[in-house]
Amino acid sequence: MNQEERAIAFTALHRKGDPVVLYNIWDAGSARCVAEAGAKALATGSWSVAAAHGFADGQKIPLALLIEIVREIVAATELPLSVDFEGAYSEDPAQGAANAAELIDAGAIGINFEDQIVGKAGVHAIDKQTARIRAIREMAERQGIPLFINARTDLFLQESDAARHAGLMDEAISRAEAYAEAGASGFFAPGLADRELIARLCAASPLPVNVMMKPGAPDLETLAAAGVGRVSYGPFPYRAMIAWLRGEAEKVYGGAVK
């Protein structure tokens, strides 16, 4: 498949009640491993990519290095690749779109694009975030690539008390509607783990909903029944791999380093 065909195929994988499962990767080696395990598509996680290359999350990994990593992943498999692009490395709509264009040039067919104010507290106002989404969509249309823009809201991640998540639902639904109108392809709500709230969001959202697997989250069968269209694993595959590696190294070196 060419890049446009991969983008179309990736979009088609997002089916309400039959979610595409993305076991997040961080480099060409992990991409090939997950592809050989039977994945239908690939997606990076920003935390994992940054950590694997010696950086903290939050757009600390240089954009040029991220683009090179994307090129290497695209070359490693034939699968569609979505890239966790955080805040597009700019709050300015035009510059964010120009940065996203570099990902398309590198072979990506999708992005995660978040509404948190990177490096600060809070989330962008809806009108500002929709302007940024619209700029990326217009750029992708000029490129001739139906880029899958997975519009992420950080409302639930930024509220650590899950008991308060119900009170965020109206705003989350408003954002899903606004992001859809601006040209988003999917709606990502990491941190939301209550089955009833997930089902409510899926019913109200005009976009397929992406839920992140984390400890305490419902299983895949439950998420599918709730109407989820995409399930991703975020940083957890990388963290599990690193924990295993550390344990094996400690066996060799006789325990934890003093």
34-60 mean pLDDT: 98
In whole angstroms, what separates CA 153 from the centre of its chain? 11
66-83 mean pLDDT: 98
**pLDDT in the model for residue 254:** 86
Domain ranges within the chain, ordered by starting residue: 3-253
**Over the stretch 153-190, which tens digit does the pLDDT of each residue have?**
999 999 999 999 999 999 999 999 999 999 999 999 99
Helix axes 93-106, 63-76, angle to 10 degrees: 30
> In whole numbers, what is the pLDDT of the chain averaged over residues?
97
Query: What pTM does this model have?
Result: 0.96
Q: Which long-range contacts (CB under 8 A, 24 or more apart) does 32-39 make?
A: 32/76, 32/77, 35/76, 35/77, 35/78, 35/79, 39/79
194-208 mean pLDDT: 98
127-156 mean pLDDT: 98
Q: Which fold has domain 3-253?
A: TIM Barrel (3.20.20)
* Confidence grade of residue 258 (pLDDT, cut at 50, 70, 90): low
Can you give 9-53 as a three-state secondary structure string?
HHHHCCECCECEEECCECCHHHHHHHHHCCCCCEEECHHHHHHHC
